[in-house]
A and B are shown apart, each in its own frame.
Chain A
Amino acid sequence: MIRFIINRTCQSLIILLVMSFFIFLLLGLMPGDPIDLLVGSNPTISSEDLQRLKELYDIDKPVLERYLAWITNAVQGDFGYSRLFAQPVMDILSPRLFNSITIMSVSLALALLVAIPTGIYAATHPNSLLEKAINFLCFAGISIPPFWLALLFILLFSVFAGILPASGMETIGDGSLIDRVHHMILPVATLSMATIAGYTRHVSASMTEVLQNDYIRTARAKGLLEKSVLWRHALKNALIPVVTIIALDFGSLFSGALITETMFSWLGMGKTIYDAIIGNDYNLALIGLLLATVLTLTANIMADIAYATLDPRINYQKKN
C-alpha cells in the first residue's frame, strides 16, 4: 500500500511538472507581455529603461531558460509577485484558497446529504412516480448551464424577492458569521445543484446494481429489517464506486467553483485565476492554475487510496 502511494505520488509529480511547463508556455502566448503593459502605463519610458526592464524580467531569453529560472525559484518557495495586486502571489492566493475550499466543502457535504438518500430511494422504488420525478430533476440538474442557474437565483432571490444578496462575501461593516452564511447561500446552492444531480444518478445506478446481488437476497432471507439490508449491506458496497467518482470528479467541482465565484464575486481561487488571465497577471495565473492542478491530483490519489481501503478485494501490491 505504502509503495503504491509513493508510486502514485511520483507519477502525479511528473504530471505536475509537465503541466507547469505547458502552462508556462501557454501563458507566454497570451496577448502582450509585462513590458508592453508597463510601457502602456508610462509613455515617458526610455528605450534604455525598456532594455533594462527586459533583462530584469528575462523576457529576451528563450522560453526554456526562463522556465528553468522560474522553477528554480519556485522550488525554493519564491513564487514571484502579482502584477495586478503588487503583492507576493502566495499572500493573495492563500486566503482565496481558503474561501474556495469553504464553499466547495460545504457544497460537497450538502450534495452528499441530499444525493445518498435520494439515490437510495430512486434505486428501491423503480418506476414509481417519485422516482421518475427524481430522474427528471437529475437530468435537469446536469443540463442546466451553471452560470444561468446563478442568474436565475439572482433574479428570483435578489431582484424579485430581495431576500438574499446578489454578490460579495459579506456586508461591509458587518462581517458577522450570520452575515457570511447569508452571503454563502446562493453560491453554495448554485455549486451544489449540478453536483447533487450527478451524485444522485451515480448512487442510484450503483445501488440498483448492488441490490441484484445474491448476498442481498441472503440478508433478506435471514429476516433482517429492510432498513438494515439497505443501509448496512447494500449501501456500503454501493458507495465504493461512488467515492471514486466523487474524487475523480474533483476537477469539475473546481470548474463549477470558478463559475460560481465569478458570478457571485466570491473571492476564491477560480475567480482569481479568471481575473489573472483576463488581466495578464502571469505569475498569479500560473501559480493559481498549478495550485488547482495540485488539488485535483491530490483528490485523485485519495480516490485510489479510498478505493483500496473500502474494497478489501483490491490489492495494489499484486498489480504493481
Chain B
Amino acid sequence: MRKRIFKTQKSAFFVKVFNTPTAVISLSFLSLMILIILLGPIYEYLRAADSTRVDLFNRFSGPTGTYILGTDELGRDLMLRLLNGGEVSLSIGLIASIIAGSIGTVLGLTSGYFGGKIDSIIMRFADTIISLPLLPLLIVLTAIDLSKLGIPQTYIDMPFFSTFKIIIIISLVGWPTIARLVRASTLTVREDDFIQVALAQGYGPIRIMFKHVLPNVTSPIIVATTLGIGNIILFESVLSFLGLGIQPPVASWGNMLTGAQELIYEDPKLAIWPGTLIFLTVITFNFLGDSLQRAFRTRSIQIIN
C-alpha cells in the first residue's frame, strides 16, 4: 500500500473521517436535515401559516396541495409541525450535549489531574448517577413546581420555558459518562513528560489542565458528545411524550406523539412521521459517533505508516 504522510494529526484525522462512507453519509444527512429545518421559517412565510394554526374543517386530512403531509387531530399542518418540532428537538440535543460535555470535561479533568480525595468524591458521584434508574428520577425533576423554588410565575409561563428546563435537567444528569472518559484519558496524559516540563516551568494546575491536558483528550470528548446527542434526543422525546417535557403549543417530535396512541386507529400517519424522524436522527448521530471513534482510534497508526 502507498505510504501517506500527513502534515499534522488533524489533517490525517479529517482524511480518515472523509474516507469512511458511514461518516460521510451521516454528516450529509444531518447537514441536509438541519438545512431543511432552518429553512422552515421561509416555508412558513410562503404558506402564510404557522404550526399552531387550527383548521377544524380539515382534521386528519391526507396529503393535499396545501398540506403536503396532511393535518393532525386539530387540523394543524403536519409538515410545519415537524419542521418546528425538529428545531426544538435538535436544539435541545445539541445544546444539552454541549453543556453536559463541558461539565463532564471540567469535572473529568479535575478528577484525573488531582486524583486522591477529589477524584474519589467526583467519581463516586458520577457512578451513583449512572447506576440510578434515570427515567423515574427525570420524571420527578420535570414534574416539580418551580414557583416553590422562588422562580417567578411570569418566567414559568413563557412558551420556551419548558425547553430551557429540559435542557438544564438533561445536562445535569448527562455529564457522568463524559467525565469518566475524560478522567481515564487524563490519567494517562498526566504521566507524560511534557506535563513534568510544564510543572517544572511553574505553571499552575488550571493552566496545565486546560492548555496541556485538554488538547490531548479531545478525541474521547468529541466521540462521547456525538454519541450523547442521540441519547439526549431520545430522552427528550420520551419525557415530552409522557407530557412532562416540551409543553404544547410548542411542538417537539416527542410531544407530537403524545396524542398519537389514542388516535392510532384513526390516523396512523400521526404516529409514523415524528417517530421516523426521531429514529433517523438518533441513528445517524450514533453512526457518526461510531465512525469518529474508529477514525480516532487508528489515527496514530496511520501517521506512523
Contact = CB atoms under 8 A, between A and B. Distances in A.
B140 A285 contact: yes
B143 A143 contact: no
A26 B169 CA distance: 13
Given A147-B257, A255-B133, A159 B265 contact: yes
Nearest to B253: A145
Contacts of B278: 145, 148
A15 interface: yes
B238 interface: yes
A151 B260 contact: yes
Contacts of B237: 145, 147-148
A140 B131 contact: no
Interface string B237-279: 1100111000000000010010011001100100110010011
Contacts of B149: 29
A289 B140 contact: yes
A289 B257 contact: no
Interface stretch (A117-125, A176-184, A269-277): A269-277
A251 B143 contact: no
Contacts of A146: 238
Contacts of B272: 155
Classify chain B's interface size.
Answer: 35 or more
B135 interface: yes
A292 B133 contact: yes
B275 A152 contact: yes
Contact of B131 (A29, A32, A155, A251): A251
B134 A155 contact: no
Contacts of B241: 145, 147
A314 interface: no
B23 to A, nearest CB: 14
A169 interface: no
A19 B132 CA distance: 10
A254 interface: yes
B64 interface: no
Given A143-B279, A248-B130, A273 B257 contact: no
Interface string A301-315: 000000000000000
B192 interface: no
Contact of A151 (B137, B257, B286): B257
A140 B140 contact: no
A252 interface: yes
B234 interface: yes
A293 B261 CA distance: 30
Interface in B108-155: 128, 130-137, 139-141, 143-145, 148-149
Interface in A130-157: 139-140, 142-148, 151-152, 154-155
A296 B134 CA distance: 11
Given A26-B141, A29-B149, A285-B140, A251 B283 contact: no
- The listed residue with most B CB atoms (<10 A of its CB), out of A29, A293, A297, is A29
Given A143-B282, A145-B238, A289-B140, A151 B261 contact: yes
A154 B135 CA distance: 23
A216 interface: no
A300 interface: yes
B287 A274 contact: no
Contact of B135 (A148, A159, A255): A255
B86 interface: no
24 contacts: A28-B148, A29-B144, A29-B148, A29-B149, A30-B144, A31-B143, A32-B145, A140-B279, A144-B282, A145-B282, A148-B237, A148-B271, A148-B275, A152-B275, A159-B268, A251-B132, A255-B133, A255-B135, A259-B135, A277-B139, A288-B136, A289-B133, A292-B136, A297-B131
Interface of B: 128, 130-137, 139-141, 143-145, 148-149, 230, 234, 237-238, 241-243, 254, 257, 260-261, 264-265, 268, 271-272, 275, 278-279, 282-283, 286-287, 290
